[in-house]
Amino acid sequence: MRANRTAFTLIEVLVVLVVLGILAGIAIARYLDTKEAAYVASMKADLRNLAVYEQNYLMDSQGSYFAGNGSAQGFVATVGVTIAATADPGPPPSWHATATHDKTSKTCSITTTGPSIWDISCP
C-alpha cells in the first residue's frame, strides 16, 4: 500500500510554473500591444482635431492655413503627443502634419488633398 502524499512532486511544480509562464507571456504581449494601440489612437485623434482647427483657420483667414503646433490658434494636443504642421501656400493652399508620442517610436501623419479630404496614416 502507498503512503499518504503530503506535498507536490518536483515535476508537478515545474509543469505548473511552465504553464503560468506561458500564460504570463501571452498576457504581457497583449497588454503591450494595447498600450501601443492607445498611443496611436491618441495621435490620430489629435491629427483629426488639428484638421478641424485648420478648417476653421482657413475660413477665418480667407484661404491660408497655419503652420506649427497650433497653440497660437488654441489647439492643445494630448499629453505626450507632439504635433508639427506645415502649410503650403499653393495654389491651391494645403497643409500636412505629423504627430509623435513620447512613449512610442511610431509616427502618424495627415495629408490633405482638398479642403475636407484628409488621409491619416500611421505605419
SS (H, E, C) the chain: CCCCCCCCCHHHHHHHHHHHHHHHHHHHHHHHHHHHHHHHHHHHHHHHHHHHHHHHHHHHCCCCCCCECCHHHCCCCCCCEEEEEEEECCCCCEEEEEEEECCCCCEEEEEEEECCEEEEECC
Instruction: Give the model's pLDDT for residue 110.
Output: 94
Question: Which residue matches cell numbers 505605419?
Answer: 123
Please report, as a single letter, which amino acid is at residue 72. A
Percent of the residues in the chain that have a pLDDT greater than 70, as a whole number: 96
36-90 pLDDT per residue, tens: 899 999 999 999 999 999 888 888 887 788 899 988 888 999 999 999 999 888 7
* Angle at 99 (CA atoms; ends 95, 101), nearest 5 degrees: 170
Here the cell at position 48 is: 483629426
Q: What is the pLDDT of residue 50?
A: 93
Contact of 97 with 86, CB cutoff 8 Å: yes
Q: Which residue has the cell 495621435?
A: 43
N residues, the chain:
123
